[in-house]
């Protein structure tokens, strides 16, 4: 069994018909079977603000946990 690689794609666009998001969807369809590819949806992600660093918004916390899982 070959080792699986995990990739998190981030388009950083909130536009519904973003070209970057479309490219990520196409890339996901073209990935080989040993690649786990997930496109991150930035909808609802607040801009960076260091003030609430101890109690980050839920969307920020969830995306950080997901990126840690995908990179390990």
Per-residue model confidence as pLDDT tens digits over 16-65:
888 988 999 999 999 999 999 988 877 777 666 666 666 666 666 565 56
Residue 50: per-residue pLDDT = 67
What is the rounded CA–CA span in Å between residue 54 and residue 46? 15
The answer to whether the beta carbons of residues 60 and 45 sit under 8 Å apart is yes
The answer to whether the beta carbons of residues 9 and 37 sit under 8 Å apart is yes
Buried b (16+ CB within 10 A) or exposed e, 48-66: eeeeeeeeeeeebeebeee
Residue 40: per-residue pLDDT = 82
Residue 35: per-residue pLDDT = 92
Q: Phi and psi at residue 8, in whole multiples of 5°?
A: -110, 115
Domain ranges across the chain? 5-60
Region 4-10: what's the mean pLDDT?
Answer: 89
């Amino acid at each position: 069994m070959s080792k699986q690689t995990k990739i998190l794609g981030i388009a950083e666009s909130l536009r519904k018909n973003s070209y970057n998001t479309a490219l990520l969807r196409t890339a996901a369809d073209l990935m080989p079977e040993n690649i786990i590819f997930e496109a991150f949806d930035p909808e609802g992600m607040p801009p960076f603000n260091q003030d609430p660093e101890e109690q980050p918004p839920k969307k920020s916390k969830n995306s950080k946990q997901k990126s840690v899982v995908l990179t390990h």
